[in-house]
Amino acid sequence: MRDTVSILPLTVEGLGFEAGGKPLVSDVGFVVARGGITVLLGPNGSGKSLTLRLCHGLLTPSAGRVAWAHAGGAKRHAMVFQKPVMLRRSAEANIVHALAAGGVPRRSRQELARQAMERFGLAALASRPARLLSGGEQQRLAIARAWALKPELLFLDEPSSQLDPGATRQVEAMLETLAAEGVTLVMATHDLGQARRLADQVLFFHRGRLAEQGPAEAFFAAPATPEARAFLAGELLW
């Protein structure tokens, strides 16, 4: 971490977002404590991705607030998207660019990028054009790029939804490693198997609202709401 003062917990209160006069997220509230993996679970269009973007500061809420425990939070969290953006340069140079944008001194960037590539088994891809990598390789590179910035909290929006099972497990292994190293993860997914494998806490979304939240073990064993029970049973939710 860049300093010893934690940005966590993250407190979300009464969060809302409208587009064209239509509410897309309404009255969402939760707290993300330090450590572990919090999974935003729910069907497509339920508000998971929007909530991540609001928390990360990519969108301005129409209502409510996103509050960090430490005012310097803007430089201490990163985000990995469903389809990572790769620059027209080598895989390693993509990380160097992110470090430059993050204010890392020039003298340190190349070595930090090399360390990130090695840390996640990407060293052999260092000189290859990032845009020519496979989808799984690009997503692993995106996570390594975020890790190089040493975030305290990492948001991930459906990081493996477009990947095959093998690539998905590689990404999940990276996330488990990050969590074990103390990075707090907040991840959106509609993949029940992935949520069961990774989640410590579950936030279940339905129609733009947070319908249920709690420890993952309790949620999967005995969901409290009919919407969550229907989702876990594989029933369509609208």
Look at residue 4 and tell me if it is in a domain: no
Look at residue 48 and tell me if it is in a domain: yes
Residue 77 half-sphere exposure, CB side, CA atoms within 13 Å? 31
Look at residue 1 and tell me if it is in a domain: no
Look at residue 156 and tell me if it is in a domain: yes
Does residue 103 contact residue 131 with C-beta atoms inside 8 Å? no
Range of the domain at 84: 10-232
Give mean pLDDT, residues 167-172: 95
Look at residue 3 and tell me if it is in a domain: no
How confident is the model at residue 2, as a pLDDT? 47
Among candidates 160, 164, 152, which has minimal Cα distance to 70? Answer: 152
Mean pLDDT for the chain?
Answer: 94
Look at residue 22 and tell me if it is in a domain: yes
CA–centroid distance for 154 within its chain: 5
How confident is the model at residue 70, as a pLDDT? 86
Residues β-bridged to residue 204: 41, 212
How confident is the model at residue 198, as a pLDDT? 98
Does residue 154 contact residue 185 with C-beta atoms inside 8 Å? yes
Look at residue 238 and tell me if it is in a domain: no
Report the CATH number that the domain containing residue 92 is assigned in CATH. Answer: 3.40.50.300
Look at residue 134 and tell me if it is in a domain: yes
Q: Looking only at Cα atoms, what is the longest distance across the chain?
A: 56
- How confident is the model over 114-165, as pLDDT tens digits? 999 999 999 999 999 999 999 999 999 999 999 999 999 999 999 999 899 9
Structure tokens that stand for 51 in this block: 């909530």
Number of domains forming the structure of the chain:
1
